[in-house]
Chains A and B, each alone.
Chain A
Protein backbone atom coordinates (compact mmCIF):
# COMPACT_ATOMS: atom_id res chain seq x y z
CA UNK A 1 0.00 0.00 0.00
CA UNK A 2 1.35 3.38 -0.99
CA UNK A 3 0.95 6.57 0.94
CA UNK A 4 -2.55 7.97 0.99
CA UNK A 5 -3.31 10.48 -1.72
CA UNK A 6 -0.72 9.41 -4.19
CA UNK A 7 0.21 6.67 -6.62
CA UNK A 8 3.61 5.09 -6.88
CA UNK A 9 6.13 6.59 -9.25
CA UNK A 10 5.69 3.54 -11.50
CA UNK A 11 1.93 3.96 -11.64
CA UNK A 12 2.23 7.60 -12.64
CA UNK A 13 4.83 6.69 -15.22
CA UNK A 14 2.61 4.00 -16.67
CA UNK A 15 -0.23 6.46 -17.13
CA UNK A 16 2.11 8.99 -18.73
CA UNK A 17 3.50 6.29 -21.03
CA UNK A 18 0.02 5.30 -22.17
CA UNK A 19 -0.67 8.86 -23.27
CA UNK A 20 2.69 9.46 -24.91
CA UNK A 21 2.61 6.14 -26.76
CA UNK A 22 -0.82 7.00 -28.14
CA UNK A 23 0.61 10.18 -29.74
CA UNK A 24 -1.25 12.49 -27.40
CA UNK A 25 1.92 14.62 -27.35
CA UNK A 26 4.08 16.01 -24.57
CA UNK A 27 2.18 19.25 -24.06
CA UNK A 28 -1.29 17.71 -23.77
CA UNK A 29 0.12 14.82 -21.72
CA UNK A 30 1.77 17.20 -19.23
CA UNK A 31 -1.48 19.07 -18.88
CA UNK A 32 -3.48 15.91 -18.28
CA UNK A 33 -0.92 14.55 -15.82
CA UNK A 34 -0.94 17.76 -13.82
CA UNK A 35 -4.69 17.64 -13.53
CA UNK A 36 -4.62 13.98 -12.52
CA UNK A 37 -2.10 14.71 -9.77
CA UNK A 38 -4.28 17.52 -8.47
CA UNK A 39 -7.32 15.27 -8.56
CA UNK A 40 -5.44 12.51 -6.75
CA UNK A 41 -4.74 14.98 -3.95
CA UNK A 42 -8.28 16.32 -3.87
CA UNK A 43 -9.75 12.83 -3.77
CA UNK A 44 -7.03 11.72 -1.37
CA UNK A 45 -6.73 8.49 -3.25
CA UNK A 46 -3.81 6.24 -4.00
CA UNK A 47 -6.03 3.89 -5.93
CA UNK A 48 -4.84 3.35 -9.50
CA UNK A 49 -8.26 2.35 -10.74
CA UNK A 50 -9.84 5.50 -9.36
CA UNK A 51 -7.24 7.67 -11.05
CA UNK A 52 -7.67 5.76 -14.30
CA UNK A 53 -11.36 6.59 -14.11
CA UNK A 54 -10.50 10.25 -13.66
CA UNK A 55 -8.17 9.98 -16.64
CA UNK A 56 -10.87 8.41 -18.74
CA UNK A 57 -13.30 11.17 -17.84
CA UNK A 58 -10.69 13.83 -18.57
CA UNK A 59 -9.92 12.37 -21.99
CA UNK A 60 -13.59 12.09 -22.79
CA UNK A 61 -14.03 15.74 -21.85
CA UNK A 62 -11.14 16.68 -24.14
CA UNK A 63 -12.54 14.61 -27.01
CA UNK A 64 -15.89 16.22 -26.28
CA UNK A 65 -18.78 13.88 -27.11
CA UNK A 66 -21.12 16.90 -27.34
CA UNK A 67 -19.67 18.36 -30.53
CA UNK A 68 -21.91 18.19 -33.59
CA UNK A 69 -20.46 15.44 -35.75
CA UNK A 70 -23.01 15.37 -38.52
CA UNK A 71 -21.87 16.21 -42.04
CA UNK A 72 -23.19 19.38 -43.61
CA UNK A 73 -24.68 18.08 -46.84
CA UNK A 74 -27.51 20.47 -47.60
CA UNK A 75 -26.85 23.10 -50.23
CA UNK A 76 -29.37 25.96 -50.44
CA UNK A 77 -30.50 25.56 -54.04
CA UNK A 78 -27.48 23.59 -55.14
CA UNK A 79 -26.06 20.20 -54.16
CA UNK A 80 -24.19 19.83 -50.90
CA UNK A 81 -20.48 19.92 -51.72
CA UNK A 82 -17.93 17.92 -49.76
CA UNK A 83 -14.27 18.78 -50.37
CA UNK A 84 -11.76 16.18 -49.21
CA UNK A 85 -8.19 17.25 -48.45
CA UNK A 86 -5.05 16.04 -46.70
CA UNK A 87 -1.42 15.02 -47.03
CA UNK A 88 -0.29 12.21 -49.33
CA UNK A 89 -1.58 8.71 -48.81
CA UNK A 90 -3.83 9.25 -45.80
CA UNK A 91 -6.90 7.65 -47.39
CA UNK A 92 -8.80 10.48 -49.10
CA UNK A 93 -9.85 8.60 -52.22
CA UNK A 94 -10.78 5.47 -50.26
CA UNK A 95 -12.79 7.52 -47.76
CA UNK A 96 -14.72 9.12 -50.62
CA UNK A 97 -15.61 5.70 -51.98
CA UNK A 98 -16.86 4.57 -48.58
CA UNK A 99 -18.69 7.83 -47.93
CA UNK A 100 -20.45 7.63 -51.28
CA UNK A 101 -21.65 4.16 -50.35
CA UNK A 102 -23.14 5.46 -47.07
CA UNK A 103 -24.81 8.43 -48.75
CA UNK A 104 -26.33 6.20 -51.40
CA UNK A 105 -27.57 3.81 -48.73
CA UNK A 106 -29.24 6.80 -47.07
CA UNK A 107 -31.08 7.43 -50.30
CA UNK A 108 -29.10 10.39 -51.59
CA UNK A 109 -27.92 10.82 -55.14
CA UNK A 110 -24.18 11.37 -55.35
CA UNK A 111 -21.62 12.50 -57.91
CA UNK A 112 -17.84 12.30 -57.43
CA UNK A 113 -15.27 14.73 -58.81
CA UNK A 114 -11.75 13.48 -59.56
CA UNK A 115 -9.78 16.66 -58.93
CA UNK A 116 -6.60 14.73 -58.22
CA UNK A 117 -5.22 15.14 -61.71
CA UNK A 118 -1.66 14.69 -60.51
CA UNK A 119 -0.99 11.31 -58.96
CA UNK A 120 -0.52 8.33 -61.25
CA UNK A 121 -3.87 6.57 -61.79
CA UNK A 122 -5.68 8.66 -59.17
CA UNK A 123 -8.72 9.26 -61.38
CA UNK A 124 -8.84 5.55 -62.30
CA UNK A 125 -8.76 4.67 -58.60
CA UNK A 126 -11.71 6.97 -57.89
CA UNK A 127 -13.55 5.61 -60.92
CA UNK A 128 -13.11 2.07 -59.62
CA UNK A 129 -14.64 3.20 -56.34
CA UNK A 130 -17.47 4.87 -58.25
CA UNK A 131 -18.23 1.60 -60.05
CA UNK A 132 -18.04 -0.33 -56.81
CA UNK A 133 -20.62 1.81 -55.06
CA UNK A 134 -22.67 2.69 -58.13
CA UNK A 135 -21.91 6.39 -58.42
CA UNK A 136 -20.77 8.44 -61.43
CA UNK A 137 -17.41 10.16 -61.51
CA UNK A 138 -16.56 13.37 -63.32
CA UNK A 139 -12.96 13.36 -64.47
CA UNK A 140 -10.70 14.88 -67.04
CA UNK A 141 -9.40 12.65 -69.80
CA UNK A 142 -6.18 14.65 -69.66
CA UNK A 143 -3.50 13.90 -67.09
CA UNK A 144 -2.33 17.08 -65.39
CA UNK A 145 -5.56 18.97 -66.12
CA UNK A 146 -6.36 21.96 -63.91
CA UNK A 147 -7.81 20.46 -60.71
CA UNK A 148 -9.94 23.55 -60.05
CA UNK A 149 -11.71 23.23 -63.36
CA UNK A 150 -12.36 19.51 -62.87
CA UNK A 151 -13.82 20.30 -59.45
CA UNK A 152 -15.94 23.06 -60.97
CA UNK A 153 -17.16 20.73 -63.73
CA UNK A 154 -18.17 18.14 -61.16
CA UNK A 155 -20.20 20.64 -59.16
CA UNK A 156 -21.72 22.13 -62.28
CA UNK A 157 -22.75 18.70 -63.57
CA UNK A 158 -24.05 17.82 -60.12
CA UNK A 159 -26.22 20.94 -60.13
CA UNK A 160 -27.44 20.30 -63.66
CA UNK A 161 -28.38 16.72 -62.81
CA UNK A 162 -29.93 17.81 -59.55
CA UNK A 163 -27.92 15.40 -57.39
CA UNK A 164 -27.98 15.78 -53.62
CA UNK A 165 -24.24 15.69 -52.92
CA UNK A 166 -21.04 16.19 -54.89
CA UNK A 167 -17.87 14.86 -53.27
CA UNK A 168 -14.59 16.23 -54.62
CA UNK A 169 -11.31 14.30 -54.31
CA UNK A 170 -8.06 16.28 -54.30
CA UNK A 171 -4.42 15.32 -54.69
CA UNK A 172 -2.46 14.63 -51.54
CA UNK A 173 -0.09 17.46 -50.68
CA UNK A 174 2.30 18.19 -47.86
CA UNK A 175 1.24 21.25 -45.93
CA UNK A 176 4.60 23.00 -46.23
CA UNK A 177 4.33 23.20 -50.04
CA UNK A 178 3.18 26.73 -50.63
CA UNK A 179 2.28 26.37 -54.30
CA UNK A 180 0.27 23.19 -53.79
CA UNK A 181 -1.57 24.73 -50.85
CA UNK A 182 -2.39 27.80 -52.94
CA UNK A 183 -3.68 25.47 -55.63
CA UNK A 184 -5.99 23.87 -53.07
CA UNK A 185 -7.29 27.26 -51.99
CA UNK A 186 -8.03 27.95 -55.63
CA UNK A 187 -9.91 24.65 -56.05
CA UNK A 188 -12.25 25.72 -53.27
CA UNK A 189 -12.69 29.27 -54.56
CA UNK A 190 -13.46 28.08 -58.05
CA UNK A 191 -16.02 25.53 -56.80
CA UNK A 192 -17.69 28.31 -54.85
CA UNK A 193 -18.30 30.29 -58.00
CA UNK A 194 -20.90 27.61 -58.60
CA UNK A 195 -21.99 26.45 -55.15
CA UNK A 196 -20.80 26.79 -51.55
CA UNK A 197 -18.64 24.00 -50.15
CA UNK A 198 -20.78 22.74 -47.29
CA UNK A 199 -18.24 20.40 -45.71
CA UNK A 200 -14.44 20.37 -45.91
CA UNK A 201 -12.94 17.17 -44.53
CA UNK A 202 -9.30 16.88 -43.52
CA UNK A 203 -8.28 13.24 -43.78
CA UNK A 204 -5.65 12.28 -41.23
CA UNK A 205 -3.93 8.93 -40.86
CA UNK A 206 -4.07 7.48 -37.32
CA UNK A 207 -0.38 6.64 -37.47
CA UNK A 208 0.46 10.34 -37.73
CA UNK A 209 2.51 11.75 -34.92
CA UNK A 210 3.04 15.34 -33.84
CA UNK A 211 3.18 16.55 -37.45
CA UNK A 212 -0.60 16.26 -37.40
CA UNK A 213 -0.75 19.66 -35.72
CA UNK A 214 1.11 21.32 -38.54
CA UNK A 215 -1.17 19.57 -41.04
CA UNK A 216 -4.25 20.82 -39.24
CA UNK A 217 -3.08 24.41 -38.95
CA UNK A 218 -1.85 24.83 -42.49
CA UNK A 219 -4.77 23.10 -44.20
CA UNK A 220 -7.22 25.10 -42.09
CA UNK A 221 -5.48 28.28 -43.24
CA UNK A 222 -6.22 27.63 -46.90
CA UNK A 223 -9.56 25.82 -46.88
CA UNK A 224 -11.27 26.26 -43.51
CA UNK A 225 -11.67 22.67 -42.29
CA UNK A 226 -15.11 21.70 -40.94
CA UNK A 227 -14.46 18.08 -40.01
CA UNK A 228 -11.71 15.52 -39.56
CA UNK A 229 -11.66 11.94 -40.82
CA UNK A 230 -9.31 9.67 -38.88
CA UNK A 231 -8.29 6.73 -41.06
CA UNK A 232 -6.49 3.44 -40.51
CA UNK A 233 -7.74 3.08 -36.95
CA UNK A 234 -7.89 -0.65 -37.66
CA UNK A 235 -4.11 -0.71 -37.21
CA UNK A 236 -2.11 -0.58 -34.00
CA UNK A 237 -1.97 3.23 -33.90
CA UNK A 238 -4.31 5.06 -31.52
CA UNK A 239 -4.55 8.43 -33.24
CA UNK A 240 -4.09 10.45 -30.04
CA UNK A 241 -2.90 13.50 -31.98
CA UNK A 242 -6.50 14.28 -32.93
CA UNK A 243 -7.17 15.38 -29.35
CA UNK A 244 -4.89 18.37 -29.86
CA UNK A 245 -6.01 18.80 -33.45
CA UNK A 246 -9.66 19.05 -32.44
CA UNK A 247 -8.81 21.61 -29.82
CA UNK A 248 -6.61 23.64 -32.15
CA UNK A 249 -9.20 23.79 -34.93
CA UNK A 250 -12.32 23.70 -32.80
CA UNK A 251 -13.57 21.12 -35.25
CA UNK A 252 -14.46 17.50 -34.46
CA UNK A 253 -13.43 14.17 -35.87
CA UNK A 254 -16.59 13.17 -37.71
CA UNK A 255 -15.70 9.83 -39.28
CA UNK A 256 -13.20 7.06 -38.80
CA UNK A 257 -11.70 4.66 -41.33
CA UNK A 258 -11.50 1.05 -40.16
CA UNK A 259 -10.26 -0.80 -43.20
CA UNK A 260 -9.90 -0.84 -46.97
CA UNK A 261 -13.36 -2.16 -47.77
CA UNK A 262 -16.41 -0.19 -48.86
CA UNK A 263 -18.15 -0.62 -45.50
CA UNK A 264 -15.18 0.33 -43.35
CA UNK A 265 -16.21 3.89 -42.52
CA UNK A 266 -17.98 4.70 -39.25
CA UNK A 267 -19.13 7.72 -37.28
CA UNK A 268 -16.61 8.80 -34.66
CA UNK A 269 -17.47 7.34 -31.27
CA UNK A 270 -15.84 9.41 -28.51
CA UNK A 271 -16.14 6.82 -25.73
CA UNK A 272 -14.91 4.02 -27.96
CA UNK A 273 -11.96 6.14 -29.04
CA UNK A 274 -10.96 6.88 -25.43
CA UNK A 275 -11.32 3.24 -24.39
CA UNK A 276 -9.11 2.15 -27.29
CA UNK A 277 -6.57 4.81 -26.43
CA UNK A 278 -6.38 3.55 -22.85
CA UNK A 279 -6.43 -0.12 -23.75
CA UNK A 280 -3.18 -2.02 -23.30
CA UNK A 281 -0.24 0.27 -23.94
CA UNK A 282 1.20 -0.23 -27.40
CA UNK A 283 4.40 -1.83 -26.16
CA UNK A 284 6.52 -1.97 -23.10
Chain B
Protein backbone atom coordinates (compact mmCIF):
# COMPACT_ATOMS: atom_id res chain seq x y z
CA UNK B 1 0.00 0.00 0.00
CA UNK B 2 2.78 2.39 0.89
CA UNK B 3 5.89 2.52 -1.21
CA UNK B 4 8.45 3.25 1.41
CA UNK B 5 8.80 2.97 5.12
CA UNK B 6 9.01 6.70 5.40
CA UNK B 7 5.61 6.83 3.71
CA UNK B 8 4.39 4.37 6.28
CA UNK B 9 5.88 6.32 9.08
CA UNK B 10 4.43 9.56 7.81
CA UNK B 11 1.06 7.86 7.46
CA UNK B 12 1.29 6.43 10.92
CA UNK B 13 2.20 9.83 12.31
CA UNK B 14 -0.62 11.40 10.36
CA UNK B 15 -3.03 8.87 11.80
CA UNK B 16 -1.77 9.75 15.25
CA UNK B 17 -1.99 13.45 14.58
CA UNK B 18 -5.64 13.13 13.72
CA UNK B 19 -6.48 11.15 16.84
CA UNK B 20 -8.25 12.70 19.76
CA UNK B 21 -7.56 9.67 21.90
CA UNK B 22 -4.51 7.47 21.70
CA UNK B 23 -4.61 3.78 22.58
CA UNK B 24 -1.63 1.70 23.65
CA UNK B 25 -2.22 -0.32 20.50
CA UNK B 26 -1.69 2.84 18.42
CA UNK B 27 1.54 3.43 20.28
CA UNK B 28 2.79 -0.13 19.68
CA UNK B 29 2.05 0.07 15.98
CA UNK B 30 3.80 3.37 15.56
CA UNK B 31 6.80 2.29 17.59
CA UNK B 32 7.13 -0.78 15.39
CA UNK B 33 7.11 1.45 12.31
CA UNK B 34 9.73 3.67 13.88
CA UNK B 35 11.92 0.65 14.59
CA UNK B 36 11.79 -0.35 10.96
CA UNK B 37 12.53 3.13 9.72
CA UNK B 38 15.54 3.43 12.03
CA UNK B 39 16.94 0.07 10.96
CA UNK B 40 16.49 1.05 7.34
CA UNK B 41 18.44 4.21 8.11
CA UNK B 42 21.28 2.04 9.51
CA UNK B 43 20.81 3.01 13.12
CA UNK B 44 22.53 0.30 15.14
CA UNK B 45 20.26 -2.33 16.63
CA UNK B 46 21.15 -1.74 20.30
CA UNK B 47 20.55 1.97 19.83
CA UNK B 48 17.23 1.28 18.09
CA UNK B 49 16.22 -0.87 21.06
CA UNK B 50 16.92 1.70 23.73
CA UNK B 51 15.45 4.45 21.60
CA UNK B 52 12.17 2.67 20.92
CA UNK B 53 11.94 1.68 24.57
CA UNK B 54 12.13 5.29 25.66
CA UNK B 55 9.72 6.47 23.02
CA UNK B 56 7.28 3.71 23.93
CA UNK B 57 7.31 4.61 27.63
CA UNK B 58 6.84 8.29 27.03
CA UNK B 59 4.14 7.63 24.46
CA UNK B 60 2.26 5.32 26.81
CA UNK B 61 2.38 8.13 29.29
CA UNK B 62 0.88 10.48 26.73
CA UNK B 63 -1.75 7.88 25.87
CA UNK B 64 -2.77 7.47 29.51
CA UNK B 65 -2.83 11.15 30.30
CA UNK B 66 -5.61 11.60 27.73
CA UNK B 67 -4.15 15.02 27.14
CA UNK B 68 -5.23 17.04 24.14
CA UNK B 69 -3.71 15.92 20.86
CA UNK B 70 -1.83 12.86 22.07
CA UNK B 71 -0.86 12.00 18.50
CA UNK B 72 0.92 15.30 18.15
CA UNK B 73 2.66 14.49 21.37
CA UNK B 74 4.06 11.19 20.13
CA UNK B 75 5.42 12.89 17.04
CA UNK B 76 7.08 15.45 19.23
CA UNK B 77 8.42 12.79 21.58
CA UNK B 78 10.09 10.93 18.71
CA UNK B 79 11.63 14.05 17.29
CA UNK B 80 12.82 15.43 20.63
CA UNK B 81 14.25 12.08 21.67
CA UNK B 82 16.22 11.86 18.41
CA UNK B 83 17.60 15.36 18.72
CA UNK B 84 18.47 14.69 22.34
CA UNK B 85 20.53 11.60 21.45
CA UNK B 86 22.08 13.37 18.47
CA UNK B 87 23.55 15.97 20.72
CA UNK B 88 21.20 18.75 21.70
CA UNK B 89 23.30 21.85 21.93
CA UNK B 90 26.38 22.15 19.72
CA UNK B 91 29.79 22.79 21.19
CA UNK B 92 32.79 24.77 19.99
CA UNK B 93 36.17 23.24 19.29
CA UNK B 94 38.55 23.18 22.25
CA UNK B 95 41.30 25.67 21.60
CA UNK B 96 44.52 25.81 23.59
CA UNK B 97 44.85 28.74 25.95
CA UNK B 98 48.59 28.78 25.39
CA UNK B 99 50.66 27.45 22.48
CA UNK B 100 49.24 25.65 19.47
CA UNK B 101 45.96 23.78 19.55
CA UNK B 102 46.71 20.16 18.69
CA UNK B 103 44.20 18.03 16.79
CA UNK B 104 44.46 14.42 15.79
CA UNK B 105 42.31 12.70 13.15
CA UNK B 106 41.49 9.01 13.39
CA UNK B 107 39.19 6.54 11.71
CA UNK B 108 38.72 3.57 9.41
CA UNK B 109 40.42 3.37 6.01
CA UNK B 110 38.89 5.71 3.46
CA UNK B 111 36.63 7.55 5.92
CA UNK B 112 37.75 11.00 4.80
CA UNK B 113 40.49 11.97 7.28
CA UNK B 114 43.04 13.45 4.88
CA UNK B 115 40.36 15.43 3.04
CA UNK B 116 39.10 16.67 6.40
CA UNK B 117 42.60 17.83 7.36
CA UNK B 118 42.48 20.18 4.36
CA UNK B 119 38.97 21.33 5.15
CA UNK B 120 39.77 22.09 8.78
CA UNK B 121 42.98 23.78 7.72
CA UNK B 122 41.25 26.10 5.30
CA UNK B 123 38.39 26.83 7.69
CA UNK B 124 40.67 27.59 10.63
CA UNK B 125 42.86 29.77 8.44
CA UNK B 126 40.04 31.79 6.91
CA UNK B 127 37.36 31.82 9.62
CA UNK B 128 39.53 31.73 12.73
CA UNK B 129 42.56 33.50 11.36
CA UNK B 130 44.87 30.74 12.53
CA UNK B 131 48.25 29.70 11.17
CA UNK B 132 47.77 26.00 10.56
CA UNK B 133 50.24 23.15 10.18
CA UNK B 134 49.13 19.78 8.78
CA UNK B 135 51.23 16.82 9.87
CA UNK B 136 51.71 13.84 7.55
CA UNK B 137 51.70 10.96 10.02
CA UNK B 138 50.09 8.44 7.67
CA UNK B 139 53.22 6.72 6.44
CA UNK B 140 51.39 3.63 5.35
CA UNK B 141 48.79 4.23 2.67
CA UNK B 142 50.46 4.66 -0.71
CA UNK B 143 51.05 8.36 -1.34
CA UNK B 144 49.13 9.57 1.70
CA UNK B 145 51.95 12.07 2.24
CA UNK B 146 51.68 13.41 -1.30
CA UNK B 147 47.91 13.60 -0.92
CA UNK B 148 48.23 15.67 2.27
CA UNK B 149 50.77 17.95 0.59
CA UNK B 150 48.39 18.60 -2.30
CA UNK B 151 45.50 19.17 0.07
CA UNK B 152 47.59 21.52 2.23
CA UNK B 153 48.61 23.54 -0.78
CA UNK B 154 44.99 23.87 -1.88
CA UNK B 155 44.00 24.93 1.63
CA UNK B 156 46.83 27.47 1.78
CA UNK B 157 48.39 25.95 4.89
CA UNK B 158 51.80 24.43 5.64
CA UNK B 159 52.50 20.72 5.77
CA UNK B 160 55.03 18.94 8.00
CA UNK B 161 56.21 15.92 6.01
CA UNK B 162 59.71 14.85 7.07
CA UNK B 163 59.19 11.24 5.97
CA UNK B 164 58.26 9.97 2.50
CA UNK B 165 55.79 7.37 3.76
CA UNK B 166 54.81 4.30 1.72
CA UNK B 167 56.04 2.23 4.63
CA UNK B 168 59.04 4.39 5.50
CA UNK B 169 59.29 6.41 8.71
CA UNK B 170 57.83 6.32 12.21
CA UNK B 171 54.41 7.99 12.48
CA UNK B 172 54.73 8.57 16.23
CA UNK B 173 57.99 10.42 15.68
CA UNK B 174 56.56 12.49 12.84
CA UNK B 175 53.59 13.50 15.01
CA UNK B 176 55.93 14.48 17.84
CA UNK B 177 58.33 16.49 15.70
CA UNK B 178 55.37 18.08 13.93
CA UNK B 179 54.01 19.38 17.19
CA UNK B 180 57.46 20.58 18.27
CA UNK B 181 57.90 22.35 14.95
CA UNK B 182 54.55 24.08 15.47
CA UNK B 183 55.51 25.20 18.97
CA UNK B 184 58.88 26.56 17.88
CA UNK B 185 57.44 28.35 14.88
CA UNK B 186 54.37 29.85 16.46
CA UNK B 187 51.63 27.97 14.63
CA UNK B 188 48.13 28.36 16.02
CA UNK B 189 46.83 24.92 15.16
CA UNK B 190 48.45 21.55 14.36
CA UNK B 191 46.34 18.89 12.63
CA UNK B 192 47.80 15.39 12.62
CA UNK B 193 46.57 13.12 9.82
CA UNK B 194 46.90 9.43 10.66
CA UNK B 195 46.64 6.21 8.66
CA UNK B 196 43.26 4.51 8.38
CA UNK B 197 42.97 1.51 10.66
CA UNK B 198 40.50 -1.18 11.59
CA UNK B 199 39.12 -1.40 15.10
CA UNK B 200 40.14 -5.06 15.20
CA UNK B 201 43.76 -4.29 14.29
CA UNK B 202 45.29 -4.17 17.76
CA UNK B 203 48.77 -3.26 16.56
CA UNK B 204 47.51 -0.28 14.58
CA UNK B 205 45.24 0.80 17.42
CA UNK B 206 48.23 0.75 19.74
CA UNK B 207 50.09 2.95 17.27
CA UNK B 208 47.22 5.43 17.32
CA UNK B 209 47.32 5.51 21.09
CA UNK B 210 51.08 6.07 20.97
CA UNK B 211 50.56 9.02 18.62
CA UNK B 212 47.99 10.42 20.97
CA UNK B 213 50.29 10.07 23.96
CA UNK B 214 53.14 11.71 22.07
CA UNK B 215 51.19 14.85 21.18
CA UNK B 216 48.58 15.15 23.94
CA UNK B 217 45.92 16.63 21.62
CA UNK B 218 43.16 19.06 22.60
CA UNK B 219 40.81 17.30 20.20
CA UNK B 220 40.85 13.80 18.78
CA UNK B 221 38.33 13.71 15.95
CA UNK B 222 36.90 10.38 14.93
CA UNK B 223 35.93 10.51 11.24
CA UNK B 224 33.04 8.24 10.35
CA UNK B 225 31.59 7.59 6.89
CA UNK B 226 27.84 8.32 6.85
CA UNK B 227 27.25 5.23 4.69
CA UNK B 228 28.38 2.85 7.42
CA UNK B 229 25.90 0.26 8.62
CA UNK B 230 25.65 -1.77 11.82
CA UNK B 231 29.42 -1.93 12.19
CA UNK B 232 29.30 1.68 13.42
CA UNK B 233 28.89 0.42 16.98
CA UNK B 234 31.83 -1.97 17.05
CA UNK B 235 34.09 0.45 15.26
CA UNK B 236 33.14 3.43 17.42
CA UNK B 237 33.67 1.43 20.57
CA UNK B 238 37.02 0.15 19.30
CA UNK B 239 38.23 3.69 18.60
CA UNK B 240 36.80 4.99 21.86
CA UNK B 241 38.60 2.31 23.85
CA UNK B 242 41.69 2.11 21.65
CA UNK B 243 42.47 5.77 21.03
CA UNK B 244 39.80 7.75 22.77
CA UNK B 245 38.13 10.62 20.91
CA UNK B 246 36.63 13.92 21.91
CA UNK B 247 34.40 14.49 18.92
CA UNK B 248 33.03 12.94 15.76
CA UNK B 249 32.98 14.15 12.17
CA UNK B 250 30.44 12.51 9.92
CA UNK B 251 31.68 12.41 6.33
CA UNK B 252 30.09 11.99 2.89
CA UNK B 253 26.81 13.45 4.06
CA UNK B 254 26.37 14.84 0.56
CA UNK B 255 25.31 11.34 -0.46
CA UNK B 256 21.86 9.80 -0.17
CA UNK B 257 22.65 7.68 2.89
CA UNK B 258 20.19 8.34 5.70
CA UNK B 259 23.08 8.45 8.13
CA UNK B 260 21.76 6.50 11.08
CA UNK B 261 25.41 6.05 12.07
CA UNK B 262 25.22 9.51 13.62
CA UNK B 263 22.73 8.16 16.10
CA UNK B 264 24.75 4.99 16.68
CA UNK B 265 28.07 6.64 17.41
CA UNK B 266 26.47 9.26 19.57
CA UNK B 267 24.23 6.79 21.37
CA UNK B 268 27.03 4.35 22.05
CA UNK B 269 29.98 6.63 22.89
CA UNK B 270 28.30 9.82 24.02
CA UNK B 271 30.86 11.85 22.07
CA UNK B 272 29.38 14.84 20.25
CA UNK B 273 29.18 15.00 16.47
CA UNK B 274 30.90 18.31 15.76
CA UNK B 275 31.05 18.59 11.98
CA UNK B 276 29.50 17.29 8.81
CA UNK B 277 31.67 16.73 5.76
CA UNK B 278 29.58 17.27 2.67
CA UNK B 279 31.73 16.89 -0.42
CA UNK B 280 35.18 16.47 -1.89
CA UNK B 281 35.89 20.19 -2.10
CA UNK B 282 37.70 21.92 0.72
CA UNK B 283 34.75 24.17 1.43
CA UNK B 284 32.30 21.27 1.75
CA UNK B 285 32.24 21.27 5.48
CA UNK B 286 29.79 22.53 8.05
CA UNK B 287 28.64 22.48 11.62
CA UNK B 288 26.62 19.42 12.51
CA UNK B 289 22.94 20.17 13.09
CA UNK B 290 21.17 17.57 15.26
CA UNK B 291 17.71 18.76 14.21
CA UNK B 292 18.46 18.42 10.49
CA UNK B 293 20.01 15.03 11.11
CA UNK B 294 16.92 13.88 12.99
CA UNK B 295 14.64 14.64 10.06
CA UNK B 296 17.14 13.10 7.67
CA UNK B 297 17.23 9.84 9.60
CA UNK B 298 13.46 9.70 9.80
CA UNK B 299 13.28 10.89 6.18
CA UNK B 300 10.50 13.29 7.06
Contact status B42-A120, CB under 8 Å = no
User: How many residues does chain A have at the interface if contact means C-beta atoms less than 8 Å apart?
Assistant: 46
The residue from B149, B150, B231, B280 contacting A236, defined by CB atoms under 8 A apart: B231
Q: CB-CB < 8 A to B225: which residues of A?
A: 89, 205, 207
User: Contact at B255–A209, with CB atoms within 8 Å?
Assistant: no
Report the contact-size class of chain B (Cβ under 8 Å from the partner).
35 or more
Query: Which single member of A23, A132, A210 contacts B41 (CB below 8 Å)?
Result: A210
CB A266 to nearest CB in B, in angstroms, measures 17
Inter-chain contact A20/B230, CB cutoff 8 Å: yes
Contact B199 A211 (CB under 8 A): no
Q: Is the CB of A283 within 8 A of B41?
A: no
Q: Are B40 and A26 in contact (CB under 8 A)?
A: yes
By beta carbon, the residue of chain B nearest A119 is: B280
Query: CA–CA, A177 to B229, complex, Å?
Result: 21
A88:B280 contact, CB within 8 angstroms? yes
CA separation between A118 and B200, bound complex, in Å?
Answer: 32
Is A91 an interface position by the 8 A CB rule?
yes
| Interface contact B228-A209, CB-CB below 8 Å | yes
- A125 to B230, Cβ gap below 8 A? no
* A237 & B147 in contact (Cβ 8 Å cutoff): no
In whole angstroms, how far apart are the Cα atoms of A168 and B149 in the complex? Answer: 25
Residues of B within 8 A of A124 (CB): 142-143, 146-147
Set of chain A residues within 8 Å of B230, measured between Cβ atoms: 20-23, 209, 237, 282
B143 to chain A, nearest CB (A): 4
A260 to B230, CA, bound (A): 22
6 A-B pairs, CB-CB below 8 angstroms?
A: A205-B227, A209-B261, A234-B198, A234-B200, A235-B200, A236-B238
Chain A residues with CB under 8 Å of chain B are 17, 20-23, 25-26, 87-91, 97, 118-121, 124-125, 128-129, 132, 174-177, 205-212, 214, 232, 234-238, 241, 260, 282-284
